[in-house]
Every structure is written in C-alpha cells, then in structure tokens.
Amino acid sequence: MNVRRSAAVLAAVAVIGAATPAAADPSPSPSRAFPSALYGGTDPKYDGVWRQSLALLAQDTVGVKPAAKSVQWLARQQCADGGFASYRPDPAAACDAKTMLDTNATSAAVQALTALGGHDDVTGKAVGWLKSVQNKDGGWGYSPGGASDTNSTSVVIGALAAAGEKPDQVVKDGKSPYDALLKLALPCGGDDDGAFAFQPDKKGDLAPNADATAAGVLGSLGKGMVVEPGKKSGTACEKATTPQQAAANGADYLTAALTKDDGHLMSALAGAEPQPDFGNTADAVVALAARGDTAQAEKSVRWLEKNSADWAAQSGPAAYAQLIFAAHATGTNPRDFGGADLVKQLNATGPAPQTAEKTKAADEKEDSGSDFFGVWWYVGVCLVAGIGIGFLFTGRKKKQQP
C-alpha cells in the first residue's frame, strides 16, 4: 500500500514478483498525454490502476461520489480473463501474453469497485482470476507465478473479503492465504518478535519488514484498506498458530517500532540515509486501529497530521488516500487533518467528483420549506410591483463540500 517506491524499482519488481506501486504527482498537467479520467499527473505505467483505485476508494470512504468517467476508466482496465495490469494505455486493445497482470492492482480495483457498487460483473471476474493464480502455499506474489509475499497475499485477502468471499476457504492444495502468512511471520524470542517478512531470502531466512508487517496484520485480520477500530485481543508475543495471534504479534512489533522513533517509522532503503516513512506509518496506523491498538494508532496519526503535508503533496493521490484511510480508522477528521483538507487535496488531483447525493431527510426538509418560501417570494414580488420599492434579494448559497 505504500507509494514511496520509484518506478525504476517497480520495473524490476514486476519481473521478480515484488510489491508496491510508485509515487504519483498530485498536480495533473492539462497538457499531459495521460487519460483525463486518471488521478495523478505522473506516468501511470507502474501504478495507474493502483492509485486510481485508492483515490476512488478514499472518496467513497468520506462520502464523495467519484466522477463517473474515472470509475469507468478503472473498470475498463480489466482484461478479458478478469485480471488487471498496472496500467493499459489502450483499454480497447485486447490483453495478450505480453500484458503483465498484477495481483496488487487487481485486488485494489476489486476493493474500490466493490465499495462503489454496481460492478459485480467486473469484481466477480477479478476474484475468479485471483483464485486461478493462487500459489500452492495459499498465497500470492505480485505477478502470477511469483513467490508468495506478505504484501500481495494481504491485499488479495482484502479484496476477497470485500467481495464477500471467506479467505480461509479460498484454498490451493489445501492451503489458505492465512497458511501463507503464518509462514512469513517471524517467531517470538528475539529483537524482531512478531514481525512479518516480505519474502524469505535466498537461504530461506526471514528478515523483519515494517511495510510487510503492517500489511500482514491487516491480512491476518481479514481486513482491506478501509477499517473500523477493532477490539484488541491476544497477549504478548506468542507462537503464532492462528492468524489472530500473528496479527497480535505483528501489532506489538509495530507499536515498539513506532514508539522507538517518536510515533513514526523510518525508511531503510539500502545506501540511503534513513528518513521518516510517511506511507508506512499511515499503513501502520490502519493496521493497529483494525487490531484495536487505538492508543498508539492515535499517537501516530497525530504525528502524521503535523508532518505529512509535504510528502502527500509530492506523492499524490495514493498518498492522500493512505492518509484518509488512517484518519478514518482513528476517527480523525480528514477535512481538518493538521489544518489540511485531505479530501479537497485528493479531489484536486483528478476529475472533479460528482455532487454528493442528498439524504432523503435533507430532500424532505428542503421540499417542505420550498413551498413556503415560494409563496412569500411571490407576495414580495407583487408588493415590489405595486408600490415601486426595490428590494435586494440575496439568494442563499448552499455550501457544497465534495
């Protein structure tokens, strides 16, 4: 779910089966050659479907109705077999053997389109495709046939759950996605108690990875990108024989890591000076909130409120979406996130959303008042005509907030 990785890294990842989409510029240029329905202004080659899905899902989460053409663009990215590539510049062209399908993009699209509703045919085919490329260990890699990794397996679990499937019943050779996650969880008894690895290394060893741990906690809980605060259960790090215990262990690891660095996680890219990792911190907030670790989640979301503005502005729609998901998970107002309106900023990265639908109660209230107002407006006009006195009518403007 992170957007921090470069397109160069993702190009390599797509080949070897690693994980997450690239950053996106929040300010689309009117002269760009990219589709007008797309959110973000950078080359969508490696993250077009991903960032579009997160943007639409975030809008839906805050009650904003996305632009119809943006939803249609996402649905049309699907290939005939049900899978999605990271980006198809010409959706009218049939997918072929050279089309690199992507489990992460497919799963993100399922979560977004399921939330928006009305796309059961698309999401049904996508879920069918995901099941068809499940690995024998029960998990998924970034690309079909790639070794299972925590991030991909977890985002697929989120898609299955969103579509009404029971992830523990989606099995290959008797193995479910939870079996795959349990194999990627580090044991207790060391400095990295309870963390998840992204994948085993060449020797089969597991190395702790905070990004994978945030994803692994969500996946083990059977949750997608949008969560409500959960109920905390489980004890300190114990042998993970169930997904729930693996989630508890992973949450403890994240809490310790967040506490160590004043409420946020640090990046650990090889050869680079460690920097605050905003995207992974946002994901950790969502994971902890889903698990019921609300105290640490709230501390970390406060840190994001104070420090994430520049990162989000540089990274674009998926980053704004991650922050909205973190705000939603902790009951924080995304329209006043450290003084910033995340919803407005997200909306500005693509086509203007449709006007939010009115509630039935609001319609009835408006209708009941309109007749009364109309009668007196008519009387007023008659008085003006009769006695020649001019009145200045100031129309009430409804504040519409997408």
* Structure token digits, residue 226: 């949008």
pLDDT band, very low/low/confident/very high, at 296 (cuts 50, 70, 90)? very high
Quick check: helix, strand or coil at residue 337?
Answer: strand
pLDDT at residue number 29: 42
Centroid of chain to Cα 142: 16
* Structure token digits, residue 106: 């497919």
* Structure token digits, residue 123: 């999401």
138-142, 160-164, 266-270, 281-285: the lowest-pLDDT one:
266-270
pLDDT at residue number 400: 39
pLDDT at residue number 108: 98
Mean pLDDT of the chain, nearest integer: 84
207-221, 338-352, 382-396: the lowest-pLDDT one:
382-396
pLDDT at residue number 2: 56
pLDDT at residue number 243: 96
Mean pLDDT on 64-68: 97
pLDDT at 49 over 60: yes
- Percent above pLDDT 90 for the chain: 72
Nearest to 250 by CA among 221, 274, 224: 221
pLDDT band, very low/low/confident/very high, at 355 (cuts 50, 70, 90)? low
pLDDT at residue number 379: 39
Query: Each residue of 216-249: pLDDT tens digit?
Result: 999 999 999 999 987 776 567 888 899 999 999 9
Residue 187 exposure: Cα atoms within 13 Å on the Cβ side: 3
pLDDT at 283 over 80: yes
pLDDT at 401 over 50: no
Q: Are 244 and 234 in contact (CB under 8 A)?
A: yes
pLDDT at residue number 261: 82
pLDDT at residue number 32: 54
pLDDT band, very low/low/confident/very high, at 257 (cuts 50, 70, 90)? very high
pLDDT at 383 over 70: no
92-106, 214-228, 251-265, 343-357: the lowest-pLDDT one:
343-357
DSSP per-residue letters across 377-399: HHHHHHHHHHH------------
3-state SS record for the chain: CCCCECHHHHHHHHHHCCCCCECCCCCCCCCCCCCCCCCCCCCCCCCHHHHHHHHHHHHHHCCCECCHHHHHHHHHCECCCCCEECCCCCCCCCCCCCCCECHHHHHHHHHHHHHHCCCHHHHHHHHHHHHHCCCCCCCCCCCCCCCCCHHHHHHHHHHHHHCCCCHHHCCECCECHHHHHHHCECCCCCCCCCCECCCCCCCCCCCCCHHHHHHHHHHHCCCCCCCCCCCCCCCCCCCCCCHHHHHHHHHHHHHHHHHHCCCCEECCCCCCCCCEEHHHHHHHHHHHHHHCCHHHHHHHHHHHHHHCHHHHHHHCHHHHHHHHHHHHHHCCCHHHECCECHHHHHHCCCCCCECCCCCHHHHHHHHHHHHHHHHHHHHHHHHHHHHCCCCCCCCCCCCCCC
pLDDT at 369 over 50: no
Q: Which residue has the higher pLDDT, 50 or 232?
A: 50
pLDDT band, very low/low/confident/very high, at 270 (cuts 50, 70, 90)? confident
Q: Which residue has the higher pLDDT, 149 or 384?
A: 149
DSSP character at residue 334 = G
Query: Each residue of 80-102: pLDDT tens digit?
Result: 999 999 999 999 999 999 999 99
| CA dist., res. 297 & res. 304, Å (int) | 11
pTM exceeding the 0.75 threshold for the entire prediction:
yes
28-42, 108-122, 213-227, 356-370: the lowest-pLDDT one:
356-370
pLDDT at residue number 336: 98
pLDDT at residue number 7: 37
The region that residue 234 occupies, defined by phi over 0 for left and psi between -120 and 50 for alpha, beta otherwise, is: left
Nearest to 323 by CA among 308, 313, 310: 308
Mean pLDDT on 322-328: 98
* Terminal-to-terminal C-alpha distance of the chain: 24
128-132, 165-169, 276-280, 357-361: the lowest-pLDDT one:
357-361
